[in-house]
Amino acid sequence: MNRRSKFFPLLTLLIAIGLYTYNYYTSKKNHLKKTNTSEVNTTNSSSFNFLPSSTTGQIAKHNYYTLSYNELYEQAEWVAHQLKGSHITHNNRKRPYFIDDPKILSKSASYRNYKNSGYDRGHLCPAGDRKFSLEAFKETFYTSNISPQNHDFNTGIWNRLEQKTRYWAKKYEALYVITGGILTKNLKTIGKEHVAVPKYFYKILLDYTKPEIKAIAFLMLNKDSNKPLYNFVVSIDEIEKRTGIDFFPALPDALENKLEASSNYKNWSFR
């Protein structure tokens, strides 16, 4: 066998070994990078996507909250926002008029649908969560951010939950909050645009700060109640079944499954 015939098999072997080594270490590096990114992102809201899925594809991203609008029911199926302890202020801000949301291509339902309906224009992202900035406060008065709520419910048990959420935001430093009505067929409607009146409202809270990442979900009938808030705790899985929405789909699967299956509220302070 001459030198050339010996050289080519050796060269082929060396190339194969080189490619195998490159692919192995590249794959390992990417795996570690993905794992580390997951660990960092679950504690850093600025670099992680906490948004739920959208059943409509009509997502409107505002400066201080994001929502998914459902034209069929003329309201958001969810509104999501970050709430830090530092956001909680007692600034006395004048309530502006409700206006149409310019980012809803199909046009958000007018506030006039609520007139003489017997229902409040219930905020989904509460105005009280956004008093730290006049711009942020005004954003909550887009009509895409409201849903018909029983007055006693809005000023009663629902208000208690909103206040407790602000308490937890200060206690745990920061939360991610997702709120909406359960939108199903054959709901009562109000106004010329037939705005649906949800029978139930939900609120989901994610405490994404280490060392303990935890979540809690509430499901409430659209009427007032004197029961303690923890009586309304359900699993996130339960709300997913009722809405068809996938909450926190970008979380690592193991963490998402653990958080969403639990209805344990013992690690949340209800005092």
pLDDT(7) > 60: no
The model's pTM is 0.83
What pLDDT was estimated at residue 19?
54
pLDDT(271) > 90: no
What pLDDT was estimated at residue 209?
85
pLDDT(95) > 60: yes
Interval 17-62: pLDDT, tens: 555 545 544 443 443 333 332 332 333 444 567 999 999 999 999 9
- Residue 86: φ, ψ to 5°: -70, -15
The reply to whether 123 belongs to the active site is yes
> Averaged over 84-108, what is the pLDDT?
93
Interval 163-210: pLDDT, tens: 999 999 999 999 999 999 999 999 999 999 999 999 999 999 999 987
pLDDT(232) > 50: yes
**What is the spatial distance between Cα 6 and Cα 4, in angstroms, rounded to a whole number?**
5
Q: Which of the four pLDDT bands, split at 50, 70 and 90, describes residue 139?
A: very high
The side-by-side arrangement of strands in the sheet containing 66-70 is 59-61, 66-70, 75-84, 174-181, 200-207, 214-221, 233-234
pLDDT(124) > 50: yes
pLDDT(94) > 80: yes
CA distances from 2 to 6, 8, 11, 12 (A): 7, 11, 15, 17
Question: Given CA atoms 104, 106, 108, 112 in this order, what sign does their dihedral have?
Answer: positive
What pLDDT was estimated at residue 194?
98
Contact 35, 255 (CB under 8 A): no
Cis peptide upstream of residue 126 (ω within 30 degrees of 0): no
Please pick, among 31, 90, 123, 151, the residue that the annotation labels catalytic: 123
- For residue 164, which amino acid is it? K
- For residue 269, which amino acid is it? S
